[in-house]
Amino acid sequence: MQDEFVRALIARRREIHARWEVLLRIERVNTPLANPDALVFMIDWTLDEVFNALRHAPAKRRGAHAADASRPECPCGRNPLLVYFSAGCQSLEEALVLVQAETPGLDPDNRDNAFATLKLVMREISRREIESFCSICQYRAQPATAAAPSQSHAHVHAH
């Protein structure tokens, strides 16, 4: 991702945080740990992780291999981080759309590479955290009895 996009996203940190929190609060809560009040404290840490990863992402390699990163899975569907990272992904993608809209003469390859890089970074971070949480889940071997997290907010781009 181009440095100018990373800097612009960092400059929008407060807006991203606020949007992330709004999206968390409109989702249906499927476990006590999925309560937005229990999750919002993680947003700043996650944004630090995302911005650090974006700063250090090789410009072309990340975008070229974005499809290689599979989405994290949760066999029982109770992991509160599923909704958390879905909301975070949307808030970051919305911010990137705004940044790119303010960039005159944006090259389509740079635009696409920026999205691919952002998606890859978010998938890497979310997979790591979701799988870590799932590793201690007491429902690991049981199928979901609760409904999967809702998709009430529309994504800018499909994941």
Taking only the tens place, the pLDDT of each residue in 1-33 is 788 899 999 999 999 999 999 998 887 777 777
Reported confidence tier of residue 99, pLDDT bands at 50, 70, 90: very high
Measure Cα distances from 91 to 62, 104, 136 in Å.
20, 22, 28
- What is the spatial distance between Cα 50 and Cα 63, in angstroms, rounded to a whole number? 15
Per-residue pLDDT of 24-75, as tens digits, reads 888 777 777 777 888 888 999 999 999 999 998 876 544 444 445 555 666 5
Measure Cα distances from 70 to 121, 122, 149, 152 in Å.
11, 11, 18, 22
SS (H, E, C) 3-36: HHHHHHHHHCHHHHHHHHHHHHHHCCCCCHHHCH
